[in-house]
Amino acid sequence: MNGLGELFDDAEGRATRDAGDARLPADEFGVVHTKVRKAHARRSALRASLVAVAVVVLGAGVVYGATWFGGTQVADLPSLSATPSETPSPSPNPTETGLAWPGFTGSLTVDPHLPSASAITRDVWASVEPGWSLISYREAWVAGDRGELGPLVVYLVSPEGDRYELVNVPGETVSVLAWEAGSATAAVSVQPEGDPSYAGVLNLVTGEVTPVDGYAPYIWSVAFLDSEGSPVWTGNDGTSAYVAIAPDGTQAEYSIPAAEGAAEIAIDELGLPGVDCAVAAPYDDESSLVHCVTADWAEGLEVDPADIHFAVVRVWPADARAELLYGVTGDEGRVSNPTRAGDYTVGSTGGAPNECSTQYSVLANGNATAVPGVGSNLHPLGDILLPLGSVGSVLTWGVTSGCTDGVATPIVVVNSDLASDEYAVLVPYPEGRPAGEEPNESVTGVAVGR
Amino acid sequence: MAVKWDQALSVLAAERYPRLLGRAILLCGDRASAEDLVQEALVSALRTRRTFESVNQAEQYVRRAIASRYIDSVRSASAARRREAATIDASNVPDVAGSVGTAVDLASALRTLAPRNRACVALRYLDGLTTRETADALGLSEGAVKRYLSDGIKALNALLGTDDTADDPSNVMVRKGGVR
């Protein structure tokens, strides 16, 4: 006679088989995605106030700089001003060399909910090259039960963190996704209030968006960086795992090279009981990055603390070869979300094994070396670290909060030179906002110029 | 592997959806209600965190949310009337006691239980939750869960010829290949 346990197993298995190959319909997926995104974006005013208090305390008592790892800041943190000065007019003298001037208005939006910045000039535009970034910015905060939005501005940001306003985009929230350095257009997604998001191409001079066919991700949807340092996005309709988006807005499904059989090879390489591995990101054309975690650890059962419980492994499937880049034993924390950035492999590290990561590290030869800037209190509650792009040895990354408790806070964007100990803050934590208007969102998108 | 909520949603919506829908059908008894229930559970579970330890963990959140949302839905009088109408009275399930031991029997027998009894025994047997964990997941008191479990298991034993008890599992183990 079967017990109820076996009968339940059978019944659930039958019900699952009856469901066949059903998927959540695309329109329902959109509804779920929008509801969850808004829930994350609009946390209570109380939580926002708590964050503001934390920022004040940090601002009063913490000195930026080398706290854990000896980083050196190459660019001063841009100071925030509640009353930015009016713009200087664009340079009257066109630059003979460099990029053609697209005809930017050269204006500067004045608002307490924007970071300090300058107006774009012909000289600045002429100096743009790969490694400069586009950053779309709109602060959101909660006033009582109502969500409020500040102005949306797209900034051109130098690798050292100098910000220049390109265009003020009224209306719907826009997130820049991809941009070719020097181009007057960029691929974006648009998030209208109450309607589904859509993909488009933003005219950086006029602020107009031309809709295009395709998927409309936003900054949280970066899965990893490809071999060129461009973000690859998590697909949102269940039909494509990953999507690559070009600066002109065209989209293509992305498959991680050298992924076939890589997870099984990593499992064999580690040789640990109960280990579970999955291909996490590309490495190059011949190898991929595999992330492993021991099943026992994830289940909270007793394990040998001396064993590796989290690992990042480089695997060459064609050669059935694997190299352990970094492994973490039970009492040393964790590693997750590996990606390539130029010639480096980086991943989230630190924190207790069953908690969230607190650090971002270069992973190599069994060691984790902190990405420059990590540990410098750039974000008061940072526990989520995400790659946003890379050019050469410079990684652009973001840090925000919400891993454990879901507290939504603005994203701080940082450039770190992995070949040195230098870093620059591209967008700092928004301090000094009017009382009761402390934002829980700011940066809506980052596109590192290729 | 740690995953962001929207990454988890993509996988759940595609690869894990049949399993979630199957769970919901077991509770609701009909597919249309189950589809609504899964959608509600996805929102409910994914809004709690921005990242998850793994897709499996996110699925676990959703599976528990399916049960809790199911309970929530029957708390409203109108929903209760609708779902109770779909509940099969034990006296109207003539083949249940006569063909003991098949999965179909369990599904039919489960639908004879009141919603709270159904959710409690489902979480006990499908997720291995203790009484305390079930109470937390469903927003009920431990005493109420014990009562629902006892009544539900007793009814299922009578219908299916099993002899299980409502004692807490002494060592909760999740099945291999199941949710972690």
Cβ contact, residue pair B106, A8, below 8 Å: yes
Contacts of B54 in chain A (CB under 8 A): 293, 298
Give, for A412, the enclosing helix (H) or strand (E): strand A412-417
Residue A354: pLDDT band with limits 50, 70, 90: low
Average pLDDT on B92-101 reads 38
ipTM: 0.76
A387 half-sphere exposure, CB direction, 13 A CA radius: 31
Q: Is A11 on the interface with B (CB under 8 A)?
A: yes
The better pLDDT of the pair A360, A96 is held by A360
Sign of CA dihedral A366, A338, A362, A66: negative
Q: Reply yes or no on whether the pLDDT at A312 is more than 50.
A: yes
When CB atoms are compared, the residue of B13, B22, B25 closest to A24 is B13
Provide the 10 A C-beta neighbour count for residue A80: 16
Reported as a single tens digit per residue, the pLDDT across B53-86 is: 778 888 888 988 898 888 777 655 444 444 455 4
Which pLDDT belongs to residue A380?
Answer: 83
End-to-end CA distance of chain A: give it in Å, rounded: 66
Task: Give B115 to chain A, closest Cα distance, Å.
Answer: 16
Cβ contact, residue pair B17, A22, below 8 Å: yes
Cβ contact, residue pair B25, A280, below 8 Å: no
Q: Which residue of A has its CA nearest to B46?
A: A36
Lowest mean pLDDT among A29-43, A67-81, A116-130, A188-202: A67-81
Distance CA(A311)–CA(A300), nearest Å, equals 17
**Which residue in this structure is represented by tokens 């949280």?**
A220
- At position B64, the amino acid (one-letter code) is R
Contacts of B12 in chain A (CB under 8 A): 24
Provide CB contacts within 8 A for A317, sequence distance 6+: A258, A259, A260, A261, A262, A265, A287, A288
Which pLDDT belongs to residue A403?
Answer: 72
Going by their DSSP bridges, the two strands B3-4 and B51-52 should be labelled as antiparallel
Distance CA(A424)–CA(A320), nearest Å, equals 40
A345 three-class SS: strand
- At position B155, the amino acid (one-letter code) is A
Q: Which residue of A has its CA nearest to B101?
A: A2
The better pLDDT of the pair A297, A425 is held by A425
Provide CB contacts within 8 A for A38, sequence distance 6+: none
Q: Return residues 243-302 of A near B (CB < 8 Å).
A: 278, 280, 291, 293, 295, 298-299
Determine what percent of chain A is predicted with pLDDT higher than 70. Answer: 80
- Whether the CB-CB separation of A344 and A364 falls below 8 Å is answered with yes
- At position A72, the amino acid (one-letter code) is T
Distance CA(A180)–CA(A126), nearest Å, equals 14
- At position A367, the amino acid (one-letter code) is N
Q: Is B46 on the interface with A (CB under 8 A)?
A: yes
A390 three-class SS: strand
Lowest mean pLDDT among A92-101, A199-208, A425-434: A92-101
Q: Reply yes or no on whether the pLDDT at B20 is more than 50.
A: yes
Residue A210: pLDDT band with limits 50, 70, 90: very high
Q: Reply yes or no on whether the pLDDT at A398 is more than 90.
A: yes
Which pLDDT belongs to residue A303?
Answer: 55
Q: Reply yes or no on whether the pLDDT at A79 is more than 60.
A: no
Q: Is A7 on the interface with B (CB under 8 A)?
A: yes
Average pLDDT on A59-86 reads 30
Which pLDDT belongs to residue A94?
Answer: 37
Cβ contact, residue pair A14, B103, below 8 Å: yes
Cβ contact, residue pair B22, A15, below 8 Å: yes
Maximum mean pLDDT: which of A71-75, A387-391, A420-424: A387-391
- Whether the CB-CB separation of A164 and A118 falls below 8 Å is answered with yes
Which pLDDT belongs to residue B174?
Answer: 30
Of the candidates A366, A315, A358, A321, the residue with the CA atom closest to the CA atom of residue A336: A358
Q: How high is the mean pLDDT of chain B?
A: 73
Residue A201: pLDDT band with limits 50, 70, 90: very high
Q: Reply yes or no on whether the pLDDT at B139 is more than 80.
A: no
Average pLDDT on A425-450 reads 93
Lowest mean pLDDT among A18-27, A185-194, A210-219, B18-27: A18-27
Cβ contact, residue pair B122, A8, below 8 Å: yes
Maximum mean pLDDT: which of A31-35, A387-391, B29-33: A387-391
Determine what percent of chain A is predicted with pLDDT higher than 90. Answer: 49
Which pLDDT belongs to residue A193?
Answer: 76
Which pLDDT belongs to residue A295?
Answer: 57
Q: Reply yes or no on whether the pLDDT at A73 is more than 50.
A: no
Of the candidates B10, B8, B16, the residue with the CA atom closest to the CA atom of residue B53: B8
Tokens at A118, concatenated: 């300058």
- Whether the CB-CB separation of A77 and A425 falls below 8 Å is answered with yes
Q: Reply yes or no on whether the pLDDT at A232 is more than 90.
A: yes
Which pLDDT belongs to residue A152?
Answer: 97
Q: Which residue of A has its CA nearest to B42?
A: A32
Tell me which of B40, B43, B48, B51 to substitute to probe the interface with A (most A C-beta atoms closer than 10 Å): B51
Backbone angles phi and psi of A137, in degrees to 5? -140, 125
Cβ contact, residue pair A36, B6, below 8 Å: yes
- Whether the CB-CB separation of A257 and A279 falls below 8 Å is answered with no
Which pLDDT belongs to residue B91?
Answer: 39
Average pLDDT on A17-28 reads 80
Cβ contact, residue pair A33, B102, below 8 Å: no
Reported as a single tens digit per residue, the pLDDT across A322-331 is: 999 999 886 6
Which pLDDT belongs to residue A84?
Answer: 32
Task: Give B142 to chain A, closest Cα distance, Å.
Answer: 21
Q: How high is the mean pLDDT of chain A?
A: 81
Task: Give B79 to chain A, closest Cα distance, Å.
Answer: 21
Task: Give A155 to chain B, closest Cα distance, Å.
Answer: 26
Distance CA(B103)–CA(B114), nearest Å, equals 19
Backbone angles phi and psi of A316, in degrees to 5? -105, 95
Q: Is B162 on the interface with A (CB under 8 A)?
A: yes
pTM summary value? 0.63
Reported as a single tens digit per residue, the pLDDT across A117-172 is: 999 999 999 999 999 999 999 999 888 777 889 999 999 999 999 999 999 999 99
Cβ contact, residue pair A299, B180, below 8 Å: yes
Q: Return residues 22-41 of B near A (CB < 8 Å).
A: 22-23, 25-26, 35, 38-39
Average pLDDT on B40-45 reads 89
Contacts of B160 in chain A (CB under 8 A): 4, 7
Q: Is B88 on the interface with A (CB under 8 A)?
A: no
Which pLDDT belongs to residue A2?
Answer: 66
Cβ contact, residue pair A29, B175, below 8 Å: no
When CB atoms are compared, the residue of A10, A29, A39 closest to B13 is A29
Sign of CA dihedral A98, A99, A100, A101: negative
Lowest mean pLDDT among A66-80, A244-258, A300-314, A353-367: A66-80
Which pLDDT belongs to residue A315?
Answer: 96
Q: Reply yes or no on whether the pLDDT at A183 is more than 70.
A: yes
Which pLDDT belongs to residue A80?
Answer: 25
The better pLDDT of the pair A47, A22 is held by A22
